[in-house]
Structures are given as structure tokens and as C-alpha cells.
Structure 1
Amino acid sequence: MTKKVIVIGAGVAGLASAIRLQHAGYQVEIHEKDATPGGKMNRIEKDGYQFDLGPSIVMMPELYREIFELCGRDPNDYIPMEKLDPMYRVYFSDMPDTPIDISSDLTELTRMIESISPGDTEGFLNYMHDIYKGYVFAQDNILGRPFHKRSDFYNLSMLRKAPKVKLVGTADNFIGRYINSERLKQIMGFQTLYIGVSPFTGPSFYSMIPMIQFLYGIWFIKGGMYTMATAMERLFNELGGEIFYGSAVQEISIDAGRATGIKVGDRKIDADYVVCNADFPYAMKNLVKSPRAKGKFTDRKIDSMKYSCSAFLLYLGMNRKYADVEHIHNFIFNESLEKNMQDIFEGKKLEHASFYVYIASKLDPTLAPEGKDGLYILMPVSDLGTADYEWNDETIEYYRTYILDTLKRIRGFENVEQEIVAEAHFTPLDFESRFNAYNGAAFGLQPTLSQSIHKRPQSKWPSGSNLYFTGSSTHPGAGVPIVLLSAGIAVRELIQDDKGSPSTE
């Protein structure tokens, strides 16, 4: 008899897990508390303007395409993509009239580095050489596999390979071995924020993120990132899976150390296996009820863990096209990135901050009314457990004013405040309430050394059987490509455990 799997949450990793399992012959149900697929990969609609809610930059497109290819589909029929070059534009707040374009073409990239700091060109090429070796090591030995015990990481095979990889210290220190220019270091280092950690404290392992961009580029999906979510929903439905929206799971049912289904309202829904895509800290604290089932992940342990930064987002519908702004991805740096990062992770209200402006309607005009553009603006801020200030109307207005006043100094945005005709925002409180993101942390558990690889929550439930976890707080970590990998790990674990086990139906 076909075995049944319940997936909790239709986030990216939940959808990817469900597709893989349905394709493998299981009967899969997704239970999602929201009304739409995608989790944080969602959409905000306001007065004819459509904005990606969270993720906006496509890296490692082969991982996006893989889930469709696995099922014998042409990804181009589901997620049509185009490569961006230049990838993005960088502005520094002390020199707003001289932006820097970042290309994935190595010749153009080299010319850009030579124009900023000629003496750093050789160092940059050495960085690319050394970090590439780390990337290959990670691909082969870390990102696609689980770590059940300490010896899975600390073993003779790993020790033999590790000396070839010069990854010690923080991301900023690692980059600083090769690059002297503070501007270049910021352009490279800030990208650790894609996974919610500061380059000044995050492990050097994550300094491979800019290399992946420089070497392989970034992409845009027609319709924005939400297209990926709806395409995965479509594929899952085509395979015969079922999604139940507005179905908020209250508990994972556990009987004698074995997950047997879920509880939704006053109803128990049975299953042979459960895959949980709810944020791991939230799930362990709220969906796994008994202390014995929580194991080492007690409520106290969950509270004491370190969480990634959160984000404040503005979604602005504008009354015109921004022809003078050439790129869809724009980063505005404060000259003191280290102070900015320190304030975020120490919980201070930001006085000097960096932020990001995304104009998807420049590449896909259907995302805004004819002749108009929408601006998506993201500013990294403290998570709720760290912030020493409250999120209220005063805080929202404070950050809104800071962002708009900074933008006015950049060519093309001089009259930005007067050009707004539609507006919405999203705060850490919204991340917490809408997505059950613990402490409103937008990227889950912070990827510190003590919360990475074998020390990060794994896909297999450590205190029993038939329950698996996936998503940004589990190994291998946050970011859309990486949570797609986490789905692959969880599904392989489930199928391997299932071999030879009888159905409970």
C-alpha cells in the first residue's frame, strides 16, 4: 500500500521535499497555515503593484532547475530565467554620484577592481583561487549530506582534505588576507547577510558566497521569485499531491517515540512519515510537545541559541518609471559597514545603515501598472530577541525616513518621497507572526561555528523516528539554493529509513 507523508509548510524546502517524495511514489499532503505557497518566497500585492516578499536574488540556478528536471520537466516551461550582467550596482553613501557596477564577466570584474584599487587585483584572483577550492570541498563533503554524529565530520577522510582549504577565522578576516581596499571588502563581505550573519563574526566558510556570484552570476526569473513558488506548487499538483491551505498545524503527533501524523484544530491526521518545514526552533518549541520528544532541544536550549538578523522591508508603488536607474539590484552602503553590522547584532537602533533596492518591474513590466515601477527596499535589522527597541509606528517611520532621505542623494531617486502612490511594509514582527520565524529572524538560526555543519540541527529527528526537518534552521543552512539542498537531504534520509519498513495503514 502506498505510504503517506505529511509535509508541514509550503515553504521552498517543504514544496521541494513534497515534490521529491510524490515523484518517488509516496502519497504526499502539504498542510500550510497561509493561503499561498512559498513561505517567505511570497508576494505582496498593493494597488496593481506586485512585489516579491522576501528572497529576490537567484544564485546557483541549477538547483532551482534540478527539482523540475528530476520529474522529467523542462524548467524553462516553469521558471524562465535570464542572466543579469552587470549583476548589480553599488552606491556608497559618501560618494553617491560614482556608483560601481559589479559584473560576472571576469574581464569586466577585473577592470572594476583595477579602477578602485589596482594593487588588489592579484589578491582578488588569489582569493578566487583559494575560495574555489573551499567551495568544491563544501559541495563534495558538506552541503549535500547529513551529519548524524560528530565523527561524520571529524574523521580521517575529512582531515586529509581539510588542509587544502584555507578557511579559518571570520569572513571579513579571510577576505582581508587578499584585499586591502575597504570598499572592495564591503562589496564582497556584505553578502554573508544573504544568510543572516555578519561578515565580521560569521565563519570564513561563508566568504564563498561572493565567489559564487562572481564566477557563476545571478539570474532573474520572469514574474519575480514568486514564480518559483507557484511553479513548484503547479508541479506538485501535476504529480498528484495535495495542498491544504489555511491548515495550521498545532502539534506533531508522537506515539512511543514515533511520529504518526499531525493535529490540525481538533482533528488528528495520520501519516507514515512527517516532514516539518516549519522553522526548526518554532517547531521544537511549539509542535513537539513532550519534553522527551524534544530531546536536547529543550525550550531553554531553543531560547539560548543564536538567531540571524531580521529585516525591515518597504514596498513602494511609484508614479513613474525609473529610467535613470539602470539596474534592478542596487545596494546602498553606509561607509562604516562594521559599525552597521555591530549595531544590528547587538540590538541597537541603527543610525547609519546599509540597505538594498530591488526594481523587478524594470525587467518584467507586468509587475507594476503600465508606465510605473515598484521599489522593494530591504534593510537588515536586529531580530526581536536581540533588539533593545520596540517595533511600533515610531520605529517604522524612523527607518522609512532614513531610507528615503538616503535615497534622495542618489541620482534618479531625488524626488522619491513625492513619487510614492502605494505603500506597504514588513517588519520582524510580521516575520514572526506570518511565518512562525522564531524571534522574527528572517534566516533562522545564525550560522555561527557552533551552529553550522554537524552542530546545526539535522534533517533526522534525533529523539525518535519517522520525523524529518528541513528549511533554513537545519543543515546546510539558509538561502533558497541551500534550503533546496536541505530538502534533498531530508528526502534521501526518509527513503533510506523507509526501505523495508511496513506501512501503518
Structure 2
Amino acid sequence: MSSDLVKLTKLFEAGSEADMLGFLNYLTDIYRKYLNAKDNFIYQSFRSPKDFFNLKTLINALKLKTFSSSYHDMKKFIPNEHLQYLLSFQTLYIGISPFSGPSIYNIIPMIELLYGVWFIKGGMYQYAKALERRFKELGGTIQYHSEIKQVVTSGRKVTGIQVNDDTIPVDAAVINADYPYAVENLLSPEAQKIEKMTPKKVNKMEYSMSCLLIYLGVNEQYPQLDLHTIKMASDFKGNVQEIEDGVLPPDPSYYIYNPSKLDDSFAPAGASSLYILVPVGNLQASKISKQRYLEYANQVIDKAQREFDLNDLQSQIVVKEVFTPDQFNSLYNSKFGTAFGLKPTLLQSNYFRPHNKARKIDGLYFAGASSHPGAGVPIVITSGELAAKEVERDFNNE
């Protein structure tokens, strides 16, 4: 795929002119919905029922026409099944099947095409480091290697944070741990009851898929790989069903990231830093051993080697790390080892997703993939921005 309109026209007209016409109609339709969603939902916090259940917001919600699935909606515009899949699979970026995810998530390919995909020199870690620098410039301090054991509350108000064996008095707490983990582990039973969010309720929520990540340092460069390369399964619909069923797909869809194509700081001269991402089921769908994942990772590497003519890829590997759903769970406290937090279903989106400001407890705020507005790097960053604005709203007048 390209964001060049001339190249896109050639790609779609290779199917038929009807495909190109349908593609342009899709862009018009989804851009209109995007403007609505951006102004009325994505960049809006919801504190109380009246913030969502009012005439203006409900009319705008109906205009999104989001009751059909992403794939079904794309099918209305574009006749060619391969192109339908090509433009609807991006819902996997936020952990939901295009065959069941709300059609509003077709804004993802539109945003890629109209606004581009940006690369940060040095990778996403440099973005985290930049946030750290800015936080310190503004007077913030960071305490590393410290376990947050509990957010301490008194009635309906946050009063402190228990860090290691100390309780630090605070006016507010912004939690960016995964929301289900925060409810189950960082709030007392009394606070859970006040917030009306108990572990039993958390367990009934729907959770997104996970990912198998294969990090490779390779003594070779592969000019045939672009920065981003996606290989879709021959039976894409069956592949997505296997993921939801917790089966390791024999013919997986996978994504190869090759940052060395743009940035030589990722690997020594003549070498490459690659990673391969394979969507897989979360730990609720199935429990697969580390050994089985290691075996499967080798199968995926062999498959990529064959399908993209990556000369002797296996023999050129000098560094290999395999990151599994268990590690999402153990390292990031992501419930069921999901890679994207709560599944973004209709009833777990917008007002129905965990709010950036706690519903009942003053001084408690949430940010992250399982909080409003949802998963995916840009949207998670937006979640942090919304949480910050909620804090400002509460404390600026004090």
C-alpha cells in the first residue's frame, strides 16, 4: 500500500474501476465520520451520564452508523474481496476482528492514507525518553524500581499511594497501569465497591487478542523488505477465527518491521534489526507453553524466509528474543496477556469504556489502552492527554 494517489489508483483499477470508485466513496464516507468522532468522542472525556446521554451527543453517535462490522462496511463500497481484506484488517491494530469490530474503526486505514505514518529516529523508546525529559523540565520527579501496592482512599477521596513499604500522601493519582489490573490490585475492596467496579465485574469484560513478537538481530540486510511489510493469510477470515479460538494458525497473517531500512542506528553496518509480529489468542482463549511458542516462532521465521526470499535468515540470526502473551501479563500486568487491553466493542467504547476520571472517587484518574478512548499508540497518548485535562479541570481552581 502507498499513500500516493496515483499508485493507489493503479492498484485499485487493476481490480476494476468499480473498486477505485468504491475506494473514493469509502474515503468520503469515513472521513465525514472521522470528523464527527474526533470532535465529539475521541477527544472528549465522559464524566457523567449526561455527558453522553444528551440529544446532541446521541444524534452524533447515530450519524456514525457504527452498528455494522468493519469488514461488512468495507464490503458495501469495494467489490474485490482481497481489497476488502486489505482495508479492513487494520482493526487488528487495536485487538479486535474486522468481522466483529465496529465499522467506525475503518478510520484507521483512512488516517494512515491521509495523514501518513511517522517514524521516530531511534524508535518508540526515544519517544518515551522525550516524555521523561519534558516531565523533568516541568519539575517532575520519577521514582524507579518501586512497587505501587495500593492507591489509598478515604471514603470517596484519594489520600495517598503505598509505594514499597511507605505511604506517600497525594492529592491525586493518575494510574496508567492496565485498568483491569488497577481495579483488582491497586484499589481496596471498599474503593472497588464505591467505584462499582469489582474483580467479578472485571472478569466479565471482553478482552482483546494478544501478539507473539519475534525480535531479531540479523547479520544481513534485505532490500526486498520495506519498513513495514504485511503478509496476510490465504484464508484471512479463518485465520482471525483461529486467533479468537486460541489456536496457533498454521498459515498466520504476520507483520515484519524493518527499521534498519530508515535508521542505521538499529544495527551495525551490513546488519538488520527486525521484528515479526503475529496476532495470537490471549491467555483466556488458551494457555500455550513457552516451548510451544519458541517452536512456533521458528516456524514463522521459516515461513517469512520462504515467502520473502530472505536468504538464510535462520543462519544469519545473532540475537533472538521471543515475547509471548505470558510476558504481556507478567511484565505489563495486562490481564489475560492481551496486547491491546479491553476489546473495543460497541459496549466497551466511548462512554461505556472506563473513564479517564473515576466515576465515584475524587482524585483518581486513568489512562491507557483499556481506558477511554482506547488502544493503539496515538489513541493511548490521547488517553493520557484527556486524563491530564481532567486533573487540570479539578485542580486549577483550587
The alignment's TM-score, normalised by the length of structure 1, stands at: 0.76
Query: What is the letter of the counterpart of residue 335 of structure 1?
Result: S
In structure 2, the residue matched to 1:170 is 69
> Helix, strand or coil for the counterpart of 1:465?
coil
Residue 268 of structure 1: how far off its partner (Å): 0.5
Residue 440 of structure 1: how far off its partner (Å): 0.7
Give the number of the structure whose residues are more often helix, by fraction: 2
In structure 2, the residue matched to 1:315 is 215
In structure 2, the residue matched to 1:190 is 89
Residue 195 of structure 1: how far off its partner (Å): 0.8
In structure 2, the residue matched to 1:403 is 300
Q: Residues 84-99 of structure 1 correspond to what in structure 2 (within 5 A)?
A: none
> Helix, strand or coil for the counterpart of 1:177?
helix
Moved more, 293-302 or 215-224: 293-302
Q: Residues 25-424 of structure 1 correspond to what in structure 2 (within 5 A)?
A: 102-162=1-61, 164-294=63-193, 295-325=195-225, 327-387=226-286, 389-397=287-295, 399-424=296-321
> Helix, strand or coil for the counterpart of 2:143?
strand
Cα pair distance change 1:476/1:178, threshold 3 Å: same
Residue from 364, 369, 372 that aligns with 1:475 = 372
8 Å CA contact 1:311–1:427 kept in 2: the answer is: yes
Cα pair distance change 1:345/1:115, threshold 3 Å: same
**For 1:257 and 1:116, how far apart are their aligned partners in 2?**
60
Residue from 377, 383, 389 that aligns with 1:492 = 389
Give the number of the structure whose residues are more often strand, by fraction: 1
Alpha-carbon displacement from aligned partner over 1:421-460 (angstroms, at most 9, x marks no partner) = 2111110111111111111111110101111111100011
Alpha-carbon displacement from aligned partner over 1:207-239 (angstroms, at most 9, x marks no partner) = 111111111111111111111111111111122
Query: What is the letter of the counterpart of residue 299 of structure 1?
Result: P
Q: Which has the higher contact order (CA 8 A, sep 6+)?
A: 1
**For 2:79 and 2:291, how far apart are their aligned partners in 1?**
41
Residue 164 of structure 1: how far off its partner (Å): 4.3
> Helix, strand or coil for the counterpart of 1:418?
helix
Query: What is the letter of the counterpart of residue 494 of structure 1?
Result: V
8 Å CA contact 1:280–1:469 kept in 2: the answer is: yes
**For 1:413 and 1:116, how far apart are their aligned partners in 2?**
29
> Helix, strand or coil for the counterpart of 1:113?
helix
Unaligned runs of 5+ in 1: 1-101
Q: Percent identity?
A: 43
**For 1:312 and 1:476, how far apart are their aligned partners in 2?**
25
Aligned residues: 397
**For 1:329 and 1:143, how far apart are their aligned partners in 2?**
27
8 Å CA contact 1:277–1:469 kept in 2: the answer is: yes
In structure 2, the residue matched to 1:451 is 348
Alpha-carbon displacement from aligned partner over 1:338-374 (angstroms, at most 9, x marks no partner) = 1111111122232221010001011111111121001
Residue 159 of structure 1: how far off its partner (Å): 3.9
Residue 190 of structure 1: how far off its partner (Å): 1.2
Cα pair distance change 1:223/1:163, threshold 3 Å: same
**For 2:21 and 2:280, how far apart are their aligned partners in 1?**
35
**For 1:341 and 1:166, how far apart are their aligned partners in 2?**
24
Query: What is the letter of the counterpart of residue 316 of structure 1?
Result: L
Residue 292 of structure 1: how far off its partner (Å): 4.2
